[in-house]
Structure 1
Amino acid sequence: MRDYSVSGDFGQVKFYNTGRPSGRYKSAAHILNMGWHKVNQLYYIQRQSGLDTNLLLLTRKGKGLINIEDRNIAALQGSAVIIPKNQKHSYAAAGGCEWEFYWMHYTGETAQAYTDDILNLHNNINIGLNIIDSSIKEFEDRNWEEPELMESALLNHILFEMLLTASKSNSARADTSIASDMIHYMENNIESNFSLSQLAHQYHYTKEYIIKLFKEATGITPYSYWRRLRLRQSCRELQSAGVSIKQIARKYGYSSISSYTNQFKKLYGISPSEYKNSERFH
């Protein structure tokens, strides 16, 4: 059977000829059906009982709206979304938009293992238009000696890219969460001595990695953030008439008024005494 195309009021569709599983390769992933759609608002698919296979939707252009078990997902250019088997779903072009996408119904033990790992991390993953286009072009060219194995390799490559992207994104979110935890720790221990080694030990990272992680999340090092945090806290005490600048400097770890003044002025543009005597506090 050859590839074929049809069109209608809803848009254009193309169906690809995919190979049938031979049963020779237990590890092979199988693309059972595959196609390309470029559709408008008249296009709408709804399946109350889902499918008996997984469905992969790869958005090339425009925007689609996907609903899986009453959870809405926006499908944008470069995104890959898996609709798991046996789950209620619907999908359509977003209002006022055309939606160009590829779809694959697939099965296979290896592909299912990839799918389970991906769904444990995220479902809507932007793998980029280049990966989508290059993968589809390879399929369309398909001058293969072993079509069943090559289709399997192509599908597994796309799923691998989804898993890799989801894993990196998950790690980035985890790193941001750790940076937030460190900020919370600093705020709750503002009068204690700062220890980068203690933070590294607490989060089981090296000091160098802690600095890199924190700087990527905030733009500054943990020590710089700690110093700014304490200077900001010292501003509140400068508003108190009964506390001297010398006492405040000592409380926040400065060996002298001059070093405290230098850091304060560098951050706020005025000296602690000028800040303390500012009319805004009287």
Structure 2
Amino acid sequence: MHETIYSFWHLCDPQRPLNVVMSGISYCDKSYRIERHGENLFSFEYIIDGSGVLEIDSQTLRPQKNDVYFLTRDSDHLYYADEERPWTKIWVVFYGEFAEYLFRQYLPSDTFLVKDCNILSYMNEIIHLSSVPQKSYSDLIDEVSVILLKIVLQLKNHLAHKVLSAAEQIKLCLDVNIENKLDMNDVGAELGYSKNYVIQLFREAYGITPYAYFRKRKLELAEQYLLNTHLTINEISAKLNFADQHYFSSAFKSVFGVSPSEYRKATKKTPKSPE
């Protein structure tokens, strides 16, 4: 067995809303076996090939090629590779308030395995960022925070692929495109409804127009970026596809009562730069 591991233990700061502890790729053999009890860690592990067993919180799961399993804070877990077809897997270990938020907001508390969900491109991006020697830890955390959000949203939406009501389909479309520009004509065209019918269905189901919901979710995500990354106000505005920074600041202030920069200063949760 061999592994490529990038460790950031020595840079972790409990005051940060997110810390990346380690990332890497494991080429397992039949001896591979990990057991933990109640540690303050989260992880995503994507199976590139092979199979194995995960025992976690009284569940026995069998992650195999193209599956994602995740480990959560305070869980008791044991996982090991199959003797004949051991795992090749890519993984990241992290913790912090932002990690808590992502899991609490988007993933079921009793789910630890998502079948047939390819997140390899995101995981490869994390490994690439981890391997850049001149990258500061603060920059790494900012960029990985965004990738983790994308992973969580893909897992959430993959789990939600069931028979959805029309209103749930509209809501899913809005959630998936939260960082993009989106017009209700586009949503209607994708789902086969008229723009007016989309608005009517959504309002009847959720008591709010899809426009208002989409704007509200964008601003909630902007709040998380302000709290948990070093992205500038202009970068957050651009990332969330607001028309310009002035419009973003105005929209944010109308909901939170202060401008984005004032909000960031007032919360005093901006991640510290490593010394």
With structure 1 as the length reference, what TM-score do the two structures score? 0.50
Q: Does 1:79 align with 2:67?
A: yes
Q: Are the counterparts in 2 of residues 65 and 74 from structure 1 also a CA contact under 8 Å?
A: yes
1:162–1:66 CA distance, 2 compared to 1 (3 A): same
Match of 1:267 in 2: none
1:40 is matched with which residue?
Answer: 29
Give the aligned CA root-mean-square deviation in angstroms. Answer: 3.3
- Say if 1:154 and 1:68 are closer, same or farther in 2 by CA, change over 3 A: farther
Aligned partners of 2:101 and 2:38: how far apart in 1?
20
Q: Which residue of 2 aligns with 1:70?
A: 58
User: Does residue 119 of structure 2 align to residue 153 of structure 1?
Assistant: no
1:134 and 2:122 equivalent? no
Q: Please point out which of 172, 187, 191 is paired with 2:161.
A: 172
Moved more, 169-178 or 80-89: 169-178
**For 2:61 and 2:128, how far apart are their aligned partners in 1?**
26
CA deviation profile, 1:162-213 (whole Å, cap 9, x unmatched): 321133234431417999xxxxxxxxxxxxxxxxxxxx9xx9469xxxxxxx
Query: Relative contact order, CA 8 A, sep 6+: which one is greater?
Result: 2
Letter in 1 for 2:3: V
How far apart in 2 are the matches of 1:131 and 1:176?
A: 30
What is the identity, as a one-letter code, of the residue corresponding to 1:172?
Answer: H
Letter in 2 for 1:137: H
Alignment of 1:1-282 (within 5 A): 11-18=1-8, 20-22=11-13, 26-27=16-17, 29-47=18-36, 49-120=37-108, 122-125=111-114, 126-144=117-135, 147-175=136-164, 204=201
Alpha-carbon deviations, 1:212-262, whole Å to 9, x = none? xxxxxxxxxxxxxxxxxxxxxxxxxxxxxxxxxxxxxxxxxxxxxxxxxxx
* 1:75 counterpart SS class: coil
Percentage identity across paired residues of the two chains? 14
Give 1:63's aligned amino acid.
Answer: S
TM-score (norm 2): 0.52
DSSP-derived class of the 2:162 partner: helix
Aligned residue in 1 for 2:252? none
Work out the number of aligned pairs and report it.
170
Unaligned segments of structure 1, at least 5 residues: 1-10, 180-199, 207-282
